[in-house]
Amino acid sequence: MSSSDTNSAAWLDAPGTPFVVREAPMPPTPASHEVVLRIHAVAINPIDSHRQKAGMYTPSYPYILGFDAAGTVVSFGNEVKGFTAGDKVIALTDEYITHLSSHSFFQRFAVTGNRPLCKIPDGLKFEDACVLPVGVCTAAGMLFEKESLDLEWPTLDKDVRATRNHDGEIVVVWGASSSVGCSAIQLLRAAGYRVLASASKRNFDLVRECGAEAVFDHSEADCVDKVCKWIEDKKLQLAGVLAVLINPDVHQKCAQVAQRLPGNKFVSTSLPRGIVPEPDLGEGIKTSNCLGTSQRDLLEYMWNEWMPKALELGQLKCLPSAEVVGQGLEAVNHACEVMSKGVSGKKIVVSDI
């Protein structure tokens, strides 16, 4: 950073008020494990609009929000390895741990820990890349953490289905057109598992592009029956069910799938672990909550080893696609309003921060 650099942010001054763009402090010299980023594009998540309207999980005001970003590395502490100034990266905020506005991403310059942080290929646009962090991190936690489904991790091996013995296993992803769902399907395919998905009919092509072998319309009353029949006809074993959508009715439908099929009777939800109780899904059905990845070795593998190479090879695609609804921090209000009205099969993005 030069002495001429200035920071600005979309400040939230009180719950239920619009963001106001004004000057913000420049980040301090990063601690040994920290990285300072110049933010170029941000993706909007439901939690951002919820926090704006209700003030949830916000320690004080005025405050800065923002979970998903793509940008460039400015500086970093002496314990940070593998990055240089100018590297293009995607990042997931650690503000929910630090409770510091300087670590949120609705601003030009921000601080983050060195995990999760991932280099991206030069040819990948910031506005496309920023759709990934929350989706990948949450999906990885739901699938691979020991407290969740504890499945085998993704690999770069193109012949993974031949080299791993999972061809008779399938994972059901309920709500697959969301950013978490799209990430989950891609991670599962890279780990060698077969995937069946549910989504709205208009998003079937997106879900298939991610790698789902079959997809059913979860708005149909007999969707559970169709899912179970397809898997039974193929004589497959269930490796688990992902309840991506946060909805009690969805959780119960996922439990019905797990109850009726042979295999792992486990429903992994995207509810925040430690904050919301795990749902009661009936006798014999195991479950866990997981919003993000907290297992250190998994976090390091995903962000430092697998993701950068998977992006280069095209094994990991930036799906769902970005819908850029504005440029600059002034567009964050509109972007959060669009998100609050409901989004399906796309990720709302603000570019040119």
pLDDT tens sequence for the chain (353 residues): 554 589 999 999 999 999 999 999 999 999 999 999 999 999 999 999 999 999 888 999 999 999 999 999 999 999 999 999 999 999 999 998 999 999 999 999 999 987 899 999 999 999 999 999 999 999 999 999 999 999 999 999 989 988 999 999 999 999 999 999 999 999 999 999 999 999 999 999 999 999 999 999 999 999 999 999 999 999 999 999 999 999 999 999 999 999 999 999 999 999 988 888 899 999 999 999 987 888 999 999 999 999 999 999 999 999 999 999 999 999 999 999 999 999 999 999 999 99
* pLDDT of res. 276: 86
Residue 296: how many other CB atoms lie within 10 Å: 9
pTM: predicted TM-score of the whole model, two decimal places: 0.96
Residue with tokens 């990055």: 83
* pLDDT of res. 1: 58
* pLDDT of res. 27: 95
**β strands within the chain, DSSP E:** 7-12, 19-24, 34-43, 63-64, 68-76, 88-92, 109-113, 117-119, 169-174, 194-199, 214-217, 237-243, 266-269, 286-289, 322-327, 347-351
Please, what is the Cα angle at 176 between 280 and 173, to 5 degrees?
Answer: 50
DSSP 15: T
Q: Residue type at 204?
A: F
